[in-house]
Amino acid sequence: MLLLSACGGSSGNAGGSGGSSDDVLSLALENTLPGWDWRKQISAGHVGLEWRPVYDTLLRTRTDGTVVPNAAEKYSYNEDKTVLTLKMRAGMKFTDGAPVDARAAKFSLEGFRDGGGADSLRLAGVKVHVVDDLTLTLTLPAPNPALISYLGGSCGQLVSPASLDSPTLATKPIGSGPYVLNTRATVTGSKFVFNRNPDYWNPDDFPYDKVEFLVMADETAQLNALSTGQIDGAEISLGSIERAKSTGLRVDSFPNVWSGLFFLDRAGTKIPALGDVRVRKAINMVFDRSAIAEGIWNGNGVANSQTYGPISPAFQKDLVDHYPYDIKAAQRLMKEAGYADGFSITLPEVDHYNDEYSAIAVQQLAKLNIRAEVVSVPRQESISRILGGEFPMFVYKMPVNPEAEQVSNVLGPKGAFNPYHSEDPELNKLLAKWTVADGDQAAKVYQEINRFLVEKAWFAPFGNPDLPWAFNGSTTISGTLGTTPPLYAFK
């Protein structure tokens, strides 16, 4: 495995305040952290960005999906990829003065694994052993290509062992990241302020002396804040791209997500009809993907019957139009499956995340006599309620990459986004091949997995919409990880 060093940026100068200063990065985010307990943090969405200033990670997952060293300066697997050895950098310290060493890493990993958070299953069965002051090993119950990517996210957070006994764990984190939470300037639930950590080992990758996150659920408020220079950047909806450009804002788009219907109950545990592949195929056929790409995405995306878009090695051109828009054929499939009368289902609607699909989902599902009721779910509750299995089917926006992480998280029987633990013997064989595949062979296995997902209708994708971010000045990002840019990507 190639061990790479992180890329460098230019270091900030004297500190400033507000979005107008080159030394301050100010971003609008749509939701807020529930607290600073590292065991409860997740990598998904904007909350995956909010903890990163204070909690450094063992490894770093780049925006192109590759994994490189970070707080662990070296990493390597044994021959059968069941033991991962990590070598920590010497001399690092937490903000309480404690050393960032192998024992602290073990504490952090085991606390996260056993902490009951939404991402904790990603470390299920992983055993951590301290070899010496700076070396530790992670022993896996079975090979998992996603593990190193996970260690660049929530699973790889490093926290001081004093955190567990700290009475202020929920409000004052003790990490070793590039920034320190400014508790005086921070307003819980509405504003986070971080000052540069003068002792951070890699300051060049974080050019800002100060980082601010302003919680703004309303997109109009975000655009107004951008236009007036109150903030430097924000993720916006596809429908707001032209509005943003008309006010002089710069918009950068990233095509690494998919949108569509996500089936969880593929075995028909709660909704028996969803256990029939003919029903899932019928649902695929009642959505006009091209119309969605033009009418909802305003041409900022591509229609696609597969979750993987053109940027992914799993993408296959012949699968783009696998499910034609054919309502009569879809109705025949429902009748053949014995569900001509359809069924009732509840769909969650999350503001500024999937609400643009509610009307078309209800309208088109009704053509199959599927009676969909939309219920509003607060953004901060959406992940926990979905991962809790409350909704057998929902419309969502999901990352395409990193591919290994998505396969493990979404398709694995114990994956966080597979709360119904769906399995299929054919897919299990493909997953077994995936765990030991490398290079060109890995790309081939991803394509085989992709074909299975399409042909067995595990999802009903609309396609791959762009993911737009708007900026009011010279701030740029090198890309996103899933749906959110990592902090190091901002320059």
Q: Which domains does the chain have, with CATH numbers?
A: 24-232+470-489 (3.40.190.10), 257-465 (3.10.105.10)
Q: How far apart are CA 316 and CA 302, in angstroms?
A: 14
pLDDT of residue 96: 95
Tokens at 32, concatenated? 């807020």
Q: Is the pLDDT score of 5 beyond 60?
A: no
Average pLDDT of the chain to the nearest whole number: 91
**Helix, strand, coil fractions of the chain, as percent rounded to 5:** 30, 25, 45
Q: What is the pLDDT of residues 354-413, one digit of tens each?
A: 889 999 999 999 999 999 999 999 877 888 898 889 999 999 888 887 888 889 889 988
Q: How far apart are CA 192 and CA 52, in angstroms?
A: 12
Q: What is the pLDDT of residues 436-477, one digit of tens each?
A: 888 788 899 999 999 999 999 999 999 999 999 999 988 889
pLDDT of residue 311: 85
Q: Please, are residues 264 and 422 in contact by the beta-carbon 8 Å criterion?
A: yes
Q: Please, are residues 292 and 423 in contact by the beta-carbon 8 Å criterion?
A: no
pLDDT of residue 369: 98
In terms of Cβ atoms closer than 10 Å to its own Cβ (0-12, 13-18, 19+), residue 314 is buried
Q: What is the pLDDT of residues 279-301, one digit of tens each?
A: 999 999 999 999 999 999 999 99
pLDDT of residue 21: 53
Q: How far apart are CA 275 and CA 271, in angstroms?
A: 7
95-108 as b/e: b if 16+ CB within 10 A: beebbbbbbbbbbb
SS3 316: coil
Residue 103 forms beta bridges with which residues? none
Q: Please, are residues 271 and 265 in contact by the beta-carbon 8 Å criterion?
A: yes
pLDDT of residue 380: 73
- Give the confidence band of 416 by pLDDT, cuts at 50, 70, 90: confident
Overall average pLDDT of the 91-95 stretch: 97
Q: How many CA atoms lie within 13 A of 31 on its CB side?
A: 22
Q: Cβ neighbours of residue 97 under 8 Å, at least 6 residues apart?
A: none
- Strands 72-77 and 67-69, sheet pairing: unpaired
Q: Please, are residues 228 and 241 in contact by the beta-carbon 8 Å criterion?
A: no
Largest Cα–Cα distance in the chain?
70
Q: What is the pLDDT of residues 17-59, one digit of tens each?
A: 334 456 999 999 987 887 899 999 988 778 889 999 999 999 9
Residue 411 DSSP one-character state: I
Count of residues in the chain:
491
In terms of Cβ atoms closer than 10 Å to its own Cβ (0-12, 13-18, 19+), residue 304 is buried
Q: Please, are residues 402 and 481 in contact by the beta-carbon 8 Å criterion?
A: yes
Q: Please, are residues 172 and 435 in contact by the beta-carbon 8 Å criterion?
A: no
pTM of the model as a whole: 0.85
